[in-house]
């Protein structure tokens, strides 16, 4: 029986980040993972998806926008090449995780871990071989799995994103059930390669957790790309026949049927908190299945910590990484920055156009009853956006009226995910919009939209 200072269950972005930070702080660390080193993000999610989306951007240019950019002659976009490159990029990043484990002296243990008691984890290896680990502290980072739709079983034609992202060809048509981040990203991706796409969303708008104005602008842009969006729509049934799938959709004006080659179910994720032996370790879970944690990631068992999607807090890779660092630093007893308000964490959707945000929406800010200022600045007034040929979208800042402190920001347009860190940094360190406006921004850049919106909080944008 081996003993480690820290044992991490799960080698996704949160798990391997926590392991590295704990090792940097002098701890003897082991990390337990059955197969997916780098987690869903590196293998089946963030990394290969964004690689495919880059190909989709180029495909849009050479198919829909070729005349504007002076492209001539026969040109086609090959999804097979995009898929192959997505696997190459993903595999390279996974190798990078193994390199980090070796570099920091972290013991890799291939298998599935389960708590036998509050100080012991039993690991079942890929060939059924069992071993036992003793630990001082443990970090649970086992992620989440795609949720299914009640009454609808996955099959060859009714699939999750994990199956879709491993296809080497694009379907001719698809119905995407769910208008959240994954649904929107796959819609943008596949439409660029000629797939007929329909999104079915039960809520009144796409991206239900984002700002109303952003959601409305996104729907218009997707429609321009030939994507059909059905909101306030409930899937009444799915029937596989005639070599495809028929989806019955119920709306206020009646029921209709959609025919497609495939159906993608993308309605969210459920924490992987079962089968871990948490009861034996004294770890509590919430009613929704997430492991309960405090602002330092500590569970109800004081020496066991949880991070990432398994907590159900905000299921994003960068959030898991931030939580992992806090957990490792808390274990080591060094100074850290606890995470108390997940609303202020950055969020992004990498479709075309991109969506990025943090903090309160305008609707939520007004519901608090405080006096606010809303400043919106369009990419249409930004030189760099015109140079790129992507002048659609805007930046919307929400600040308190008295001091101009940021309460939230909502962006839609070209590469807006890259603009967000300036805003979250300002919020975290209490920089006002006036102070943000005094930060000189390079010209011509997309970031000048942030500058102008910050000026606008006080009613004085320069270029509008």
Instruction: Report residue 82 as tokens.
Output: 């995009």
Question: Using CA atoms, how far apart are residues 419 and 421, in angstroms rounded to an integer?
Answer: 6
Placement of tokens 């898991």 in the chain: 320
> Helix (H, G, I), strand (E, B), or coil: what is residue 109?
strand
Question: Using CA atoms, how far apart are residues 112 and 276, in angstroms rounded to an integer?
Answer: 9
Indicate which residue of 386, 443, 455, 458 is catalytic: 443
Instruction: Catalogue the E-assigned strands of 381-437.
Output: 394-400, 406-413
Question: Using CA atoms, how far apart are residues 460 and 453, in angstroms rounded to an integer?
Answer: 9
- Is 458 annotated in the active site? no
Angle between helices 13-24 and 79-103 (to 10 degrees): 20
Instruction: Report residue 120 as tokens.
Output: 């012991």
Placement of tokens 């497609």 in the chain: 260
User: What radius of gyration, in Å, describes the C-alpha atoms of the chain?
Assistant: 23
Q: Select from 16, 18, 40 the least CA-distant residue to 99.
A: 16
Backbone dihedral angles phi then psi of residue 129, each to the nearest 5 degrees: -75, 135
Q: Is the peptide bond before 444 cis (omega within 30 degrees of 0)?
A: yes
Q: State the catalytic residues.
A: 443
């Amino acid at each position: 029986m081996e003993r480690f200072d820290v044992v991490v269950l799960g080698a996704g972005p949160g798990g391997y980040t926590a392991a590295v930070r704990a090792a940097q702080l002098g701890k003897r660390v082991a990390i337990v993972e059955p197969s997916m080193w780098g987690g869903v993000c590196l293998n089946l999610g963030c990394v290969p998806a964004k690689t495919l989306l880059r190909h989709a951007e180029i495909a849009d240019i050479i198919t829909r926008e070729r005349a504007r950019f002076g492209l001539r002659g026969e040109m086609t976009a090959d999804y097979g090449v995009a898929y192959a490159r997505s696997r190459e990029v993903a595999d390279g990043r996974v190798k990078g995780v193994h390199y980090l484990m070796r570099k920091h002296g972290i013991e890799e243990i291939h298998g599935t871990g389960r708590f036998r008691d509050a100080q012991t984890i039993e690991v079942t290896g890929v060939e059924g071989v069992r071993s036992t680990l003793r630990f001082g502290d443990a970090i649970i980072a086992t992620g989440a799995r795609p949720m299914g739709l009640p009454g609808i079983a996955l099959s060859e034609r009714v699939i999750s994103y994990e199956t879709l992202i491993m296809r080497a060809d694009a379907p001719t048509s698809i119905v995407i059930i769910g208008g959240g981040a994954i649904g929107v990203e796959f819609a943008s991706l596949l439409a660029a390669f000629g797939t007929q796409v329909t999104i079915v969303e039960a809520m009144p708008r796409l991206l239900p957790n984002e700002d109303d104005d952003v959601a409305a602008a996104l729907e218009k842009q997707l429609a321009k790309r030939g994507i059909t969006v059905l909101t306030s729509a409930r899937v009444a049934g799915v029937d596989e026949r005639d070599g495809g799938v028929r989806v019955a959709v119920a709306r206020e004006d009646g029921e209709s049927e959609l025919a497609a080659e495939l159906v993608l179910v993308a309605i969210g994720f459920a924490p992987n908190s079962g089968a871990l032996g948490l009861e034996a370790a004294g770890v509590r879970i919430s009613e929704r299945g997430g492991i309960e944690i405090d602002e330092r990631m500590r569970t109800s068992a004081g020496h066991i910590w949880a991070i990432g999607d398994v907590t159900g807090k905000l299921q994003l890779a960068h959030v898991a990484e931030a939580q992992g660092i806090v957990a490792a630093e808390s274990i080591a007893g060094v100074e850290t920055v606890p995470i108390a308000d997940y609303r202020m964490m950055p969020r992004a959707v990498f479709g075309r156009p991109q969506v990025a945000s943090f903090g309160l929406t305008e609707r939520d800010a007004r519901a608090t009853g405080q006096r606010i200022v809303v400043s919106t600045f369009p990419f249409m007034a930004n030189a760099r956006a015109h140079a790129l040929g992507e002048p659609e979208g805007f930046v919307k800042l929400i600040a308190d009226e008295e001091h101009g402190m940021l309460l939230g920001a909502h962006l839609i347009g070209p590469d807006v995910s890259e603009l967000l860190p300036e805003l979250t940094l300002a919020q975290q360190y209490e920089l006002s919009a006036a102070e943000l406006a005094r930060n000189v921004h390079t010209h011509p850049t997309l970031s000048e939209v942030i500058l102008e919106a910050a000026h606008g909080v006080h009613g004085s944008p320069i270029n509008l």
